[in-house]
Structure 1
Amino acid sequence: MRESNISWTDYTWNPWIGCRKVSAACKFCYMYRTLERNGSSPAHVFKNVSQFNKPLFLK
């Protein structure tokens, strides 16, 4: 988790990495571009083990 600059929340958390495109709206997905640019396969969906339990320890 990390502190957020989003006005309506204090923290953001995403325990998953990757995604499967499900509609035409996914055509311009920023996550796909970012992972591909970094040499990862965005279609490979997996649990981010280091982040998964972070909310349990939020103070």
Structure 2
Amino acid sequence: MTAQHGDEVDPRAQWRQLPPEPERLIEETAVDTSASDHGLPAIDLTEDFVRKYGL
């Protein structure tokens, strides 16, 4: 390459520029889950009876 190419701006190099820093930082926290959070939902016995046997 010649010295001229070193002074020119490569249009393909635009992706190398980093985005601006965020104005404020948001801290993320992990929420602990328990085994009961992944269980079956509560069953309404009346609704279950009507679903199975009707009114």
TM-score scaled by length of structure 2: 0.19
Higher helix share: 2
In proportion to residue count, which structure has more strand?
A: 1
Q: Which has the higher contact order (CA 8 A, sep 6+)?
A: 1
TM norm structure 1: 0.18
Larger Rg: 2
